[in-house]
Amino acid sequence: ALPVSPDIFNCTEATETRNGIPINCCPPSAAGYNDYTPSASEVYTRMPAHAVSHDYVKKYSSAITKMKNLSMSDPRNFYQQANVHCVYCDEGYPQLGFPDKKLEIHSSWLFFPWHRWYLYFFERICKNLLDDDTFTLPFWQWDDSSGMQIPSMFNDSKLSLYDCIRNPKHLPPKVVDLAYNGTDLPIDPNIQIQYNCCTMYTQMITQSSTPECFFGQPLLGGNDPDPGAGSIENIPHNCVHDWVGDPSQPNNEDMGVLYAAGRDPIFYAHHANVDRMWYIYDNVLKCKNIEDPDWLNSSFIFFNEAARPVRVTVKDSTNLAKLGYTYPDLPLSWLDCKP
Ligand code: C2O
């Protein structure tokens, strides 16, 4: 078998459509790319979105404003960044060496490392535009009762962190349903918090007994998409997407559909917490990562903070110290929520 790699020189329209109209999310074209290995000298800590200072919110909001104001021909432009998600998730790229096989990184063992790299470059673009190396992305701490609603920074229509295309019934103080299946449960918010706690235990512990259960099933070069999602990708990751999206839109935009999810700034905070679950899996639960070389050698191409395309590997995503960020060690109340 061969590890997976995208063929960025043959990008095509996405497989999803909006009202029957095809979506093209190919990035500005690149003449080539360089290999990139991270080697940070400092490590900065990402913080929970509901607990950051007013100054931090202003700063993050100004980074997103700057990204939105970049020209559409600049791959660091906010909508181009959202399209990076679209192109890797909606089969815009063929697989390198397999022109008739499309690449889709969801529902496979590429889910965690791909999104880690995606946020890594998104964060570096923010640092660069803010001219502040200490800046880190916030995470939406939906696994703790203190963070189980849309963080207020994303619900202020005066900030660039706002997106109006969300389910109006799920705005604060509504408590998120981490196992949401499209129906709002008519229950007390405190019961919902208890359910969420059990959901976290089930997904992080019960359903994550092997690396493949946690990360997802192998996707090898030449394979068809969708070998199977890992525990956290299924629940709560997919459920939180669906819960935020607006069901009155044709495809539950923005958060509830792959091509548009990255247009909602809350996406990056949601995924920082998904990424934090990987950190917890490694560092708190002391569970093992996948060791298969086909996983470790799979690679992706992103535009960096200098708008240049770089190729990165899964193996370089596993050491957070090298990536220059970490997560705080917060209490995990769900560890006591064995159903
Ligand atoms: Cu790429 Cu949350 O999905």
Q: What would the DSSP string read from start to end of 214-238? A: HHB----TTPPS-S-B-HHIIIIII
**For residues 152 and 138, what is the distance between their CA atoms, to the nearest angstrom?**
12
Q: Helices 111-130 & 266-283, crossing angle to 10 degrees?
A: 120
Q: Which atom from ligand 1 is nearest to the alpha carbon of 267?
A: 2
Within the chain, where are the H helices?
Answer: 54-69, 78-89, 111-130, 189-201, 211-215, 231-232, 239-244, 258-261, 266-283, 293-296, 320-323
CB count within 10 Å of CB 35 equals: 11
Q: Which atom from ligand 1 is nearest to the alpha carbon of 118?
A: 1
| d(CA 49, ligand 1 centre) in Å | 18
Q: Which atom from ligand 1 is nearest to the alpha carbon of 237?
A: 2
Nearest residue by C-alpha to atom 3 in ligand 1? 258
**For residues 327 and 187, what is the distance between their CA atoms, to the nearest angstrom?**
32
Note the Cα 161 to chain centre separation in Å.
16
| d(CA 226, ligand 1 centre) in Å | 14
Q: What is the pLDDT of residue 150?
A: 98
Q: What is the pLDDT of residue 12?
A: 87
| d(CA 262, ligand 1 centre) in Å | 8
ipTM (interface predicted TM) = 0.99
Q: Two tokens at 118?
A: 């995606």
**Domains plus CATH for the chain?**
8-336 (1.10.1280.10)
C-alpha Rg value of the chain to the nearest Å: 19
| d(CA 258, ligand 1 centre) in Å | 7
Calculate the alpha carbon distances from 104 to 70, 194, 198 in Å: 27, 34, 30
pLDDT in tens, the chain (339 residues): 789 999 999 998 877 777 777 788 999 888 899 999 999 999 999 999 999 999 999 999 999 999 999 999 999 999 999 999 999 988 889 999 999 999 999 999 999 999 999 999 999 999 999 999 999 999 999 999 999 999 999 999 999 999 999 999 999 999 999 999 999 989 999 999 999 999 999 999 999 999 999 999 999 999 999 999 999 999 999 999 999 999 999 999 999 999 999 999 999 999 999 999 999 999 999 999 999 999 999 999 999 999 999 999 999 999 999 999 999 999 999 999 998
Q: What is the pLDDT of residue 189?
A: 97
Note the Cα 131 to chain centre separation in Å.
24
Q: Give the pairing type, strands 299-303 and 98-102.
A: unpaired
Q: Give the residue from 279, 243, 250 showing the smallest Cα distance to 264.
A: 243
- b/e 134-160 (16+ beta carbons within 10 angstroms → b): ebbbbbbbbbbbebbbbbebbbeeebb
Place of tokens 């673009």: 125
**For residues 123 and 139, what is the distance between their CA atoms, to the nearest angstrom?**
12
Residues whose beta carbon lies within 6 Å of some atom of ligand 1:
85, 89, 106, 115, 237, 241, 261, 271
Q: What is the pLDDT of residue 14?
A: 75
**For residues 107 and 76, what is the distance between their CA atoms, to the nearest angstrom?**
26
**For residues 155 and 132, what is the distance between their CA atoms, to the nearest angstrom?**
25
